[in-house]
Structure 1
């Protein structure tokens, strides 16, 4: 979208609005299942299906774990977005993949109705994501206003996507932000462990920016901003990643080699 544009493309907006409606429909259909785990899986699958259709083909979208060269793992995550050109999954099972940390670009945890316990769990999970070491370095937080970027490190966007929240609509942004502060405190972490909280029927919060926006007039308008925020991050982050060296995942490859005499 060119700089200075006062509004997004009408057609592009219509496509994203239709996608948001489909997610609402998928959420309603998932309610037919009694088991909360099945309902959650169905709603996560609906979002993953949308992302597969609308993100570039060189990006993988799957459920599973990421692992680093020291065998540290993230634990199971609802949706992983990874650079499929850099590396195929180390392991692909019927429902989950295991990918190298170097290819991990974004994580989306999907919730049906967002609660304080959900946010506490997401902050704990995000700490595990930050603890892995891609390229033997760290995932870092987004740049904060007035502070320089941390050169030589990489980012993995962490998103909480929820279909609903158990908070009332009145003053929702401030109440949800307060819960985020409590959740960060519960794990002795910073607010910026989570980059985005998006609630489909309410709006979006960016914790590190202390900023939020509600749907207000149009129930679906924030889905466009959510999508563009994710896509713009992926576009910026992917070129920063160097080529992957698979030898980091092997044992000391320089050892065990024996000198051989050339034939006379």
Structure 2
């Protein structure tokens, strides 16, 4: 007789899979605390996040460091994590650093060791510049609705620490990461604090035993990938290549 799973209860296999991944991730976080060189520590932490996501996302998704470029030649800032469907699209350049067409980009993450006012301003600028890209020669939209041939990006700030005290932390963090009106950043996760949905101004506090906010972040990313990727065509590589025609010469 099959054991019935009650609504609202987590499936054990699911919990085990996330539990193992979170345990590995937590171990790596403790290990990077002993790295003194700021650049080395940052690189290690960015790699850890990519590995964490890659372990849990479907295998079709590439999780790498890189940037996106649109048909006008505009480039995004360098992102610590970019996610695209490698079964549907391929990079212009792949190595330790990837360059992909703007139409291929789905999710991006900027990693910060510690959020403060200056870093928050940098995050806003990077996210704004990213969403100024014109995939398909169109502006990024917030909500698709019934429209077709529109593009959305999901952008996250992942911070290992914040200079804000715990009292009213989420409200203060949301205020400085939106700067009154900017909504270019979708979610922010701060280790040991929680996950903030900046659009809806909601917070999920972290539980270090269950990693509930980290799990919620994964679901937000995975759900976006599933919805957005399902409605996207492959990137228009031929359009990117048309400039090559000027190099042809008659023999």
TM-score range, shorter chain: 0.7 to 0.9
Deviation, structure 1 residue 164? 2.0
Q: Structure 2: which 5+ runs fail to align? A: 1-5
Q: Does 1:215 align with 2:171?
A: no
TM-superposition CA deviations, 1:73-98 (whole Å, max 9, x none): 002110000111222111123x2111
Matches within 5 A, 1:108-127: 108-127=109-128
Distance of aligned partners of 1:196 and 1:142 in 2 relative to their CA distance in 1, 3 Å threshold: farther
Choose the corresponding residue for 2:162, options 165, 169, 178: 165
Q: CA RMSD in A?
A: 2.5
Deviation, structure 1 residue 33? 2.1
Distance of aligned partners of 1:52 and 1:179 in 2 relative to their CA distance in 1, 3 Å threshold: same
SS at match of 1:62: strand
Structure 1 distance, partners of 2:174, 2:146, is: 25
Deviation, structure 1 residue 208? 0.8
Matches within 5 A, 1:87-106: 87-93=89-95, 95-106=96-107
TM-superposition CA deviations, 1:160-212 (whole Å, max 9, x none): 11122222222221221222233xx5xxxx43211110112111111111111
Structure 2 distance, partners of 1:17, 1:52, is: 15
Aligned to 2:3: none
Choose the corresponding residue for 2:242, options 231, 251, 255: 251
Deviation, structure 1 residue 37? 1.6
Aligned to 1:31: 33
Distance of aligned partners of 1:219 and 1:210 in 2 relative to their CA distance in 1, 3 Å threshold: same
Q: Structure 1: which 5+ runs fail to align? A: 259-264
Q: Does the aligned pair in 2 maintain the 1:159–1:194 contact within 8 Å?
A: yes
SS at match of 1:91: coil
TM-score computed with the length of structure 2 as normaliser:
0.88
Aligned to 1:174: 171
Structure 2 distance, partners of 1:60, 1:11, is: 24
Q: Does 1:11 align with 2:8?
A: no
Structure 2 distance, partners of 1:253, 1:92, is: 20
Runs of 4+ in 1 over 6 A off after TM superposition: 253-258
SS at match of 2:103: helix
SS at match of 2:131: helix
Choose the corresponding residue for 1:72, options 74, 83, 101: 74
TM-score computed with the length of structure 1 as normaliser:
0.84
Q: Does the aligned pair in 2 maintain the 1:173–1:213 contact within 8 Å?
A: no
Aligned to 2:23: 21
Structure 2 distance, partners of 1:14, 1:40, is: 28
Structure 2 distance, partners of 1:217, 1:163, is: 14
Aligned residues: 245
Aligned to 1:262: none
Q: Does 1:232 align with 2:223?
A: yes
Structure 2 distance, partners of 1:164, 1:256, is: 51
Q: Does 1:86 align with 2:88?
A: yes
Choose the corresponding residue for 1:241, options 219, 227, 232: 232
Aligned to 2:50: 48
Choose the corresponding residue for 2:193, options 194, 202, 209: 202
Matches within 5 A, 1:118-157: 118-142=119-143, 151-157=148-154
